[in-house]
């Protein structure tokens, strides 16, 4: 805290007066010495009656006066300095108290932040668990659905049942026609990632799940299908949330394919990889990346994953 302007001006004036008095005293001493020398030259001695008025006594009086002035000025300067030092000490103590208060508040904020970080992690885990449950329920409601891609738009809605039955008989000729019962069959809007030249997908629901499962397995290994069915592709009907979740495993699946490691998808979303006769289930992307590093496999497109909130360390200790 700075001194008031009038105080600084007074200190400056006192110092100026002090040095002016020193200069006057020095001149007085020089004058007294000169008078004493002149008196010695013009008079060989002095009478006892004029001893008090001699130049020597005048010089002593001047020195005594100068000493008193110096002592007074010194006391004034000491008083000024003591006052300034005391005020500076008060300022330092005030700054120290405020700094201690700020550090204490920062410690409280760090404790609150770290507690919030742990709570966020816990809530994120619970939210992920709930989302996984919802995805699983939605996928279970779609478990009997089949998505057919590549059926020409020239096949009208009225002709779709006979066309699809023909495809299924080509895939599984041993299945009786009564077992190929369909609960519904229709085209669905085209996804944005599908080229405009391609026909819309056909969505159907098989009445018997074991028949649907057989048809899906046969479609993966089917060969020499009739020409009209050769370009047809069959997919499971999955929820949008499941597809997004599977996409997050892209780096893991690309690395597995690059190293010719077989894998398949499980429900809820998880990867089941087989390597050297050992089957490993991967529930999260982090688990998959750690597993690939344990296998010493370079991760395709590996990059620094975004980090969540982290704990903050205290860099100081509050002292009293």
Residue 187 pairs in a beta bridge with 202
Q: What is the pLDDT of residue 4?
A: 46
Q: Above 90 in pLDDT, residue 303? A: no
Q: How confident is the model at residue 300 (pLDDT cuts 50, 70, 90)?
A: confident
The 3-class SS string of 9-69 reads HHHHHHHHHHHHHHHHHHHHHHHHHHHHHHHHHHCCCCCHHHCCCCHHHHHHHHHHHHHHH
Higher-confidence residue of 146 and 73: namely 146
Q: What is the pLDDT of residue 56?
A: 58
- DSSP letter (8 states) at residue 91: H
Yes or no: say if 205 and 184 are a contact pair by the CB < 8 Å rule: yes
Please write the tens of the pLDDT for every residue from 162-203. Answer: 999 999 999 999 999 999 999 999 999 987 877 888 899 999
φ and ψ of 192, to 5 deg: -65, -30
Q: With a threshold of 0.85, does the pTM exceed it?
A: no
> How many whole angstroms separate alpha carbon 315 and alpha carbon 12?
44
Mean pLDDT calculated for residue range 245-254: 93
Q: What is the pLDDT of residue 170?
A: 94
Output the DSSP codes for 189-248.
PPPTTS-TTSPPPEEEEES-HHHHHHHHHHHHH--S--GGGTT-EEEE---HHHHHHHHT
Closest CA to 212 of 299, 300, 148, 268: 148
Yes or no: say if 167 and 175 are a contact pair by the CB < 8 Å rule: no
SS3 content of the chain, % helix, strand, coil (to 5): 60, 10, 30
Please write the tens of the pLDDT for every residue from 72-131. Answer: 888 888 888 988 899 999 999 999 999 999 988 999 999 999 999 999 999 998 998 898
Yes or no: say if 24 and 32 are a contact pair by the CB < 8 Å rule: no
């Amino acid at each position: 805290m700075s001194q008031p302007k009038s105080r600084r001006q007074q200190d400056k004036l006192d110092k100026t007066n002090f040095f002016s008095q020193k200069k006057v005293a020095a001149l007085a001493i020089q004058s007294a010495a000169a008078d004493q020398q002149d008196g010695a030259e013009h008079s060989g001695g002095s009478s006892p009656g004029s001893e008090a008025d001699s130049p020597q006594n005048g010089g002593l009086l001047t020195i005594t006066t100068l000493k008193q002035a110096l002592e007074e000025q010194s006391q004034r300067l000491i008083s000024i300095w003591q006052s300034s030092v005391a005020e500076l000490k008060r300022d330092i103590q005030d700054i120290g108290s405020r700094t201690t208060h700020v550090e204490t508040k920062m410690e409280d904020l760090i404790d609150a932040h770290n507690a919030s970080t742990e709570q966020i992690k816990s809530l994120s885990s619970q939210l992920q668990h709930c989302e996984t449950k919802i995805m699983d329920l939605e996928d279970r409601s779609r478990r009997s659905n089949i998505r057919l891609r590549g059926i020409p738009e020239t096949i009208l809605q009225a002709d779709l049942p006979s066309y699809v039955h023909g495809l299924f008989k080509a895939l599984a000729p041993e299945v009786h026609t009564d077992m190929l019962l369909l609960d519904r069959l229709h085209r669905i809007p085209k996804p944005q990632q599908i080229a405009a030249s391609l026909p819309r997908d056909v969505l159907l629901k098989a009445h018997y799940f074991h028949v649907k499962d057989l048809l899906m397995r046969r479609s993966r290994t089917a060969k020499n299908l009739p020409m009209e069915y050769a370009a047809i592709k069959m997919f499971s009907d999955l929820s949008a949330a499941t597809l997004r979740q599977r996409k997050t495993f892209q780096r893991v699946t690309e690395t597995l394919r690059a190293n010719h490691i077989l894998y398949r998808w499980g429900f809820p979303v998880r990867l089941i990889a087989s390597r050297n006769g050992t089957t490993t289930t991967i529930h999260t992307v982090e688990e998959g990346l750690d597993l690939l590093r344990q296998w010493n496999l370079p991760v395709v497109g590996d990059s620094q994953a975004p980090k969540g909130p982290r704990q903050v360390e205290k860099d100081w200790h509050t002292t009293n």
